[in-house]
Amino acid sequence: MTLAHETISENRSFGGVQGVYRHQSQATGTAMTFAIYLPPQARHHRVPVLWYLSGLTCTHENAMTKAGAQEWAAEAGIAVIFPDTSPRGEGVADDEAYDLGQGAGFYVDATQKPWAPHFRMWHYITHELPELVFGNFALEREAQGITGHSMGGHGALTIAMTFPERYRSVSAFAPIANPSESDWGRKQLSAYLGEDRAAWAGHDSTLLMREKGYSGEVLIDQGSKDQFLDLLKPEALAHAMAERRQPGVFRMQEGYDHSYFFVQSFMGDHIQWHAERLG
């Protein structure tokens, strides 16, 4: 079954098409906007897919316009999907703080009031949106990778370790690596999932790395001058990878901060990483 969607815009980019679309989501009970970059190869055959999950305060648009992914994706023949980070709109719960509520879905399915009715971003990203895009675009379901930045890096890692048979490649830019032990995590996980820390474990990449790891290789890039290092806790994930002897690379990039200038600088590396593993 294909799900209905409407086209907001489509623009030529590096021989492919950068599109923005909207649909009515059953998961969130709201209209959701997402973007897809289709490389020129998609005119002739189905292409591999890279999911890009964005960070706090972002919409689909931030990475679409700032990450510099399109040129690299066109060269590699990979589609890139940019979902939104949360449900939005009238009647959707929100908070005055930037790091909770709209723009801060944390890629979980909320179980607590007032978030539970709409904040079901885990189901949206892993089930509903895939059904829509694979039913409507020239994408190869058997060749999926996932990446993300900050809160999105947290989402990418936890989703990939939960569904390793689905995601053949994973990477992250400056992920929130140990949210159970960070103010960027304890606040949100308790609000969305309640105070039982056992419910948090499946949404903490450090804990998942210790428990199960990932079936392939993992690529992590982290800026050494990131202004949020104390909140991200990259050392916890690096230690968990070392303890597990997880195949992959954890790179501390000298002088880089948390901004999209950092993401732009290494986007080509990440797309090539995924291209090699997605065929």
Residues with catalytic roles: 150, 226, 258
Q: Which two tokens stand for residue 269?
A: 């590396």
Cα four-point dihedral sign 161, 265, 86, 191: positive
The answer to whether the beta carbons of residues 27 and 92 sit under 8 Å apart is no
Cα–Cα distance, 217 to 213 (Å, whole number): 10
Measured in residues, the chain has a length of 279
> Residue 61 contacts by C-beta under 8 Å, 6 or more apart in sequence?
20, 35, 82
Tell me the three state secondary structure of residue 62: helix
| Structure token digits, residue 93 | 């719960």
Beta-bridge mates of residue 120: 109
168: left (phi over 0), alpha (psi -120 to 50) or beta: alpha
CA angle, corner 254, sides to 249 and 255, nearest 5? 140
Question: In angstroms, what CA-CA distances link 200 with 50, 73, 146, 175?
Answer: 26, 34, 21, 16
